[in-house]
Structure 1
Amino acid sequence: MQLSSKIAIVTGASSGIGSRFSKDLVDKGATVYGLARSEDKLKSIQTELGKNFIPVVLDITDHEAIKKWVDITFDEDKLPDILINNAGLGLFGDVDELPLKDWDTMINTNLNGFFYMTRQVVPLMKKNEDVCHIVNIASIAGKIGNPQMSGYNASKFGVRGFSESLFKELRYDGIKVTCFYPGSIATKFFENAQGMETHPNMMQPEDVSKLLINVLETSDNFLINEITMRPLNPKPPES
């Protein structure tokens, strides 16, 4: 795919790898609709990236809001080429102590949100004469279960199954589906979820985004359906 002039949707675009994905896509000449709940952060990114980054304040757990936005944004003459389902969060704890609200929040954001967005975008991609691409950002936690992570694991294992099914379902419609399974990335995710500081041995957002661009730019009949990535040495330098 040649990214110049393509239309991309990136969820969770206000921070972390989502904001880096947006930057690199804009640098390649794409128009990016950056979705998140924080208007201030999105506007700050637009100031940095320019008019090809279009901020959209939207909660991906609200299916009706997604449908309304898609209906007023796209039509037969303006179809999306790329969807990056990236928004997600982690809330950890023992299964018998994890608040129901935390479980529901993870399932609604990490799994239902992917479904809601994909459900609305796929019919438009099917109308697109060009090959389109959906990238789902899961986690290494979508392949390996760990204590105190039952809810997060369940949501990311769900993304894994969702992505596997989608790639087989949509390939004959000219829609690629790729699932990313990243290990630790130096973003605020770990600080927000576990109070853990980032360190230099974690993967860097720019490296993950560079890989995303490479995957998107593969030739039309070349499909990478999943990628697992990890830091070579995941331990902090002092260890």
Structure 2
Amino acid sequence: MNFKGYDKNFSLVDKVAIVTGGANGIGKAVSELYLEKGAKVAVFDLNPNVEKIAREMSTQHAIGVQCDVTENESMESAIQKVKDHFKKIDILVNCAGIALLDDAENISDEYWQKTIDLNLTGSFKMCQKVGRVMIEQDSGGKIINLASQAALIALDNHVAYAASKAGILGMTKVLAYEWAQYNINVNAISPTVILTELGKKAWAGEKGEKAKKEIPLGRFGYPEEVAAIALFLASDATNLITGENIVIDGGNTIK
């Protein structure tokens, strides 16, 4: 098999991507960058305004689909809409997630279960359902799962979140191993605190300043920086990369 090269402009022209949690934060940044690079994007989100949000991104190349990644019927219906509209699926980015925080001795069953159901089980179910489509298409694919630095280091009050994101890393490796035979690449991204609207509020003031001092590069990240890694992993430049986790944390986990 000869090396065929790749588009050095990292074009995604003729590619169809699903981005869960795509109406805001990291997911929105990924959706917008993919559209800029020529992809057609299905924005999946619980937000009831997701169709409007997608139209504002692109009237021709983006569709918004209300989707609950904890409900099988909702996911299957949303995926079918993408197949009907765009005729195929080439890329899946699992950005939908939740952070319900409390210390380990007091965290409620509800916080634990909601976190696992959305962050881990929801991501797996999306991988499973879209993976089946990719296998049936027989044209390969790229799956990108959002994990976290919390999968690699201990953070106070993050026990459920850390468990869910560590599970993402294990899941990513197994899917990458099993689906390599179908030319489906499965990788993960583990960011530090990202300055989405929620991130700005959660890490404002003294708490945020203290956390930044622990990061060698001395700052938090921006959604566009995570989107850049998601573009790299969706491109043909990474056809030989699978089962990996790219950490974008300013050096926080190297200490």
TM-score by length of 1: 0.87
Distance 1:175 1:72 in 2: 22
List gaps (5 residues or longer) in structure 1: 235-239
List gaps (5 residues or longer) in structure 2: 1-5, 210-217
Deviations 1:51-77 (A, max 9, x none): 2110001111111221233235426x9
Distance 1:86 1:133 in 2: 14
* Offset of residue 6 of structure 1: 0.8
What is the root-mean-square deviation of aligned Cα atoms in Å? 2.4
The answer to whether the 8 A contact 2:27-2:95 is kept is: yes
Name the residue aligned to 2:77: 68
* Offset of residue 42 of structure 1: 4.8
**Equivalent of residue 169 in structure 2, options 148, 160, 164:** 160
Corresponding position: 1:227 with 2:236: no
Distance 2:184 2:162 in 1: 27
Deviates more, 1:131-140 or 1:46-55: 46-55
| SS across alignment from 2:65 | strand
Structure 2 matches for 1:145-224, cutoff 5 A? 145-191=154-200, 194=202, 196=204, 201-219=219-237, 221-224=239-242
The answer to whether the 8 A contact 1:10-1:33 is kept is: yes
Structure 2 matches for 1:10-21, cutoff 5 A? 10-21=19-30
Distance 2:142 2:191 in 1: 19
Structure 2 matches for 1:14-163, cutoff 5 A? 14-74=23-83, 78-163=87-172
Identity among equivalent positions (%) equals: 28
Task: Report how many aligned residue pairs link the two structures.
Answer: 232
The answer to whether the 8 A contact 1:13-1:42 is kept is: no
Corresponding position: 1:8 with 2:17: yes
The answer to whether the 8 A contact 2:21-2:43 is kept is: yes
